[in-house]
Structure 1
Amino acid sequence: MTDREPAVRRTAVAVLTETTSPGTGPALAAALADRDAAVRKAAIPALTRRRAAEEARAALAAATADADADVRAYAARAL
């Protein structure tokens, strides 16, 4: 998730969203710190599906303080 292009990072998040491997949680949580709000928004549905994990809940809770209003709202609904 280090590509310069936000579209590539969003695609990476989309691929991780389709993966059920437990190892994807940290990468999705890290996506919530991306500089592009669309990448952050894309990570929320995947973390929502994993919210039974403490790491996912913590990442979603942190996202409720995001600079982007949509990210905050999506994260709040996810919790």
Structure 2
Amino acid sequence: AALDDPAWQVRAGAAAALRAAAAGRAVPALAKALADRNADVRKAAVLALLGHVPAPEARAALATVAADPDADVRAYAARGLAPAS
């Protein structure tokens, strides 16, 4: 199972950890993770990008997942791109 795959664990963990990193370092790596074949890795990347939404590069990366096959990935990205109310 994917959850037991060490490579998956590293990718998902790294994406989550990048939420706390500086945007200039984190956003390019997270944008690359959005192309991962594993939906959980893409979801972790989107969730991490939400911490960097003020950066235009993060918003651009989030916009790229509008056609992602995973509904959660699309929903989290859309939430991050929604105007603040």
TM normalised by structure 2 equals 0.79
Question: Which one is further off, 13-22 or 39-48?
Answer: 13-22
Relative to its length, the structure with more helix (as a share) is 2
Q: Specify the alignment match of 2:13 in structure 1.
A: 11
User: Which residue of 42, 47, 50 corresponds with 1:48?
Assistant: 50
User: Which consecutive residues of structure 2, in runs of 5 or more, have no partner in the other structure?
Assistant: 1-5
Q: 4+ runs of 1 displaced by more than 4 Å? A: none
Q: Kindly, what percent of the aligned residue pairs are identical?
A: 57
Gaps of 5+ in 1: none
Structure 1-normalised TM-score? 0.84
Aligned length: 76
Matched with 1:22 is 24
RMSD across aligned positions (CA): 1.5
- The secondary structure found in structure 1 opposite 2:37 is coil
